[in-house]
Amino acid sequence: MKVLFISPPYHAGVVEVAGRWVPLYFVYLAGALRAAGHEPVIYDAMTKFVEYDEIEASIRKQKPDMVCTTAITCTSPDAIKVMELAKQIDPGIITACGGVHASFMYEEMFSLTRAMDYVVIGEGEETLAELVASLEAGDEPENIAGLAYRKDGKTVVTEKRPFCENLNNMPTAFDLLDWEDYTYFIVPGSRLGAIATSRGCDKDCTFCSQQKFWEQTWRARSPEDLVREVEEQHTRYGVDIILFTDEYPTPDAKRWEAFLDLLIEKALPVQFLMETRVEDIIRDKEILWKYRKAGIIHIYVGIESTEDSDLETLKKGISSEQAKLALTLMKEAGIITETSMILGFPDDTKESIEQTIKLIKEYDPDFAHFLAIAPWPYSDLYKELEPYIVERDYKKYNLIDPIVKPRNMTLEDIDIQIINGYRDFYMNKFMQMEESDDEFRKEYLMRAMKRMMSDSFIKKKLGMLKEMPEEMKKIINSGSDSD
């Protein structure tokens, strides 16, 4: 069968301002299908910034037997539109959706459209390959684990699919990507790849989708398998920057250090972006030099709040002092630091948010994001915040548009505080960088700040102000046009 993977053409302007990111989930799913003898095609509509007429043209050109898409909460309306478009073109095209939102909210999605034939629940490689084989053979899918589908007007959910036991040497289809699409804007001329070093998270943050999706389990690939893939992406596809896509790659300290040692030994001209947890940075304080020598240039750690009471509510498992220490340790190791603050809790006020903005400036990460809390409809936090949720449009569940109304604030108040956070933090950061002698950090941050202020959701929010601050104009106009 010919299976066309299409990413939903959704844009919010958070991560897109920094780069164009590989849809790694499609690479693995397509690899599994090809290994089973089928013909996968990847059309990354999100990265290509195309509209639905161009997606329609791609479907008509490819003439697929099946169209597959994926959904997180904010992309789910567009995922539905992709499947509806496929059915309009040819009612015989089979459609399927996977991803975190679809895995939990399939009943709701089935109620919203008749164009979705199947939902692949959870980890998809084995489930999708078995489904396609079943469809090709004309068999009923009730014995395939990890599926939801409609039959006789009712939703059928098959037995749970166990997670893959071995993540090493899994088939991939990187060759199906249009590699010229993928770049990290902060490093001009770069080619951006992606690797998942592990799957899952064993923590219990109440707002997070990953610990729910992976059922608080964690599985990892071997250091040797990871280095093999780094080398392959570099030599075969010209990749010189790689994003580690997993939320938590570092819980196994011995494995992680072995991976760093192999990267140092290989000495490939590749740099890395990653995310991890505060407590692991503190644990690794004596080997952070290995992070940097191995090529890790940028690390995001989720702090979410400067208030210990909020950290307890979110079950972050860290203190504000630990968060501050981790940022300091990374900066001393020459690593770019990034974090985020979540705003808009029911008890938030203008004064409490101003205090958060003041404190995060004292923490002094290189990048700080000020995000509107978005409780996913399947998260532990959702029931607690449901009385305060005033926005039901899933397209706004993107951490940018406020959807939760605090007791003593309006949604517009939250928007204004998000603007104030970005304005105050980056005006201060810009002045720091103008005086900095660290050329790598200075150039990196200046490029990033210019893109953030001139080509992202921040610019749209700044439009709420009557007059853009002169300091913001200075950031936008800094550097050369080639930046």
Q: What is the DSSP string of 235-262?
A: HHH---EEEE--S---SSHHHHHHHHHH
Residue type for position 68: C
Give the strand pairing for 147-151 and 218-220: unpaired
> Rg (Cα) of the chain, in Å, rounded?
22
Give dist(CA 289, CA 106) in Å, integer: 45
Helix (H, G, I), strand (E, B) or coil at 296: strand
> Binning pLDDT at 50, 70 and 90, where does residue 435 land?
confident
Strand partners, 3: 40, 66
CB count, 10 Å around CB of 89? 16
Give dist(CA 427, CA 461) in Å, integer: 16
Going by C-beta distance under 8 Å and a sequence separation of 6 or more, which residues neighbour residue 482? 188
Give the strand pairing for 66-70 and 154-157: unpaired
Give residue limits of the domains in the chain. Answer: 2-157
Q: What is the pLDDT of residues 216-270, one digit of tens each?
A: 678 899 999 999 999 999 999 999 999 999 988 999 999 999 999 999 999 999 9
- Asked if residue 468 has pLDDT above 60, the reply is no
- Residue 288 structure tokens: 């952070």
- Residue 250 structure tokens: 């570092």
What Å distances lie between residue 169 and 5, 28, 229, 230, 261, CA to CA?
Answer: 22, 11, 9, 13, 20
2-157: CATH topology: Rossmann fold (3.40.50)
Give dist(CA 365, CA 330) in Å, integer: 9
Q: What is the pLDDT of residues 271-313, one digit of tens each?
A: 999 999 999 999 999 999 999 999 999 999 977 555 555 556 5
How confident is the model at residue 314, as a pLDDT? 53
- Residue 428 structure tokens: 């201060």
- Asked if residue 33 has pLDDT above 80, the reply is yes
Give dist(CA 220, CA 167) in Å, integer: 7
Going by C-beta distance under 8 Å and a sequence separation of 6 or more, which residues neighbour residue 334? 292, 440, 441
Helix (H, G, I), strand (E, B) or coil at 75: helix
b/e per residue 139-171 (b: at least 16 CB within 10 A): eebeebebbbbeeeeeeeebeebeeeeebeebb
Going by C-beta distance under 8 Å and a sequence separation of 6 or more, which residues neighbour residue 30? 3, 5, 40, 41, 42, 172, 173, 176
Closest alpha carbon to 456 in 122, 93, 16, 28: 16
Closest alpha carbon to 374 in 218, 217, 209: 209
- Asked if residue 480 has pLDDT above 50, the reply is no
- Residue 197 structure tokens: 């070093």
Whether the Cβ atoms of residue 41 and residue 2 lie closer than 8 Å to each other: yes
Give dist(CA 454, CA 127) in Å, integer: 43
Better-scored residue on pLDDT, 204 or 418? 418
Residue 155 phi/psi, 5-degree rounding, is -85, 125
Mean pLDDT across the chain, nearest whole number? 90
Number of residues in the chain: 483
Whether the Cβ atoms of residue 366 and residue 404 lie closer than 8 Å to each other: no
Going by C-beta distance under 8 Å and a sequence separation of 6 or more, which residues neighbour residue 185? 17, 18, 19, 447, 451
Closest alpha carbon to 128 in 22, 36, 221: 36
Sheet of 367-372: strand order equals 192-195, 241-244, 271-276, 296-301, 336-343, 367-372
Which has the minimum average pLDDT: 209-213, 408-412, 422-426?
209-213
- Residue 67 structure tokens: 């169209």
- Residue 192 structure tokens: 């951006």
Going by C-beta distance under 8 Å and a sequence separation of 6 or more, which residues neighbour residue 439? none
- Asked if residue 356 has pLDDT above 90, the reply is no
Closest alpha carbon to 119 in 97, 151, 152: 97
**H or E stretch including 418?**
helix 411-434
Strand partners, 193: 242
Supply the angle between the helices 52-62 and 76-89 in degrees, to the nearest 10.
Answer: 50
- Asked if residue 21 has pLDDT above 80, the reply is yes
Whether the Cβ atoms of residue 402 and residue 372 lie closer than 8 Å to each other: yes
Number of H helices, E strands in the chain: 19, 15
> Binning pLDDT at 50, 70 and 90, where does residue 473 land?
low
Q: What is the pLDDT of residues 133-165, one digit of tens each?
A: 999 999 999 999 999 999 999 999 999 999 998
- Asked if residue 382 has pLDDT above 90, the reply is no
> Binning pLDDT at 50, 70 and 90, where does residue 15 land?
confident
Closest alpha carbon to 260 in 287, 241, 282: 287
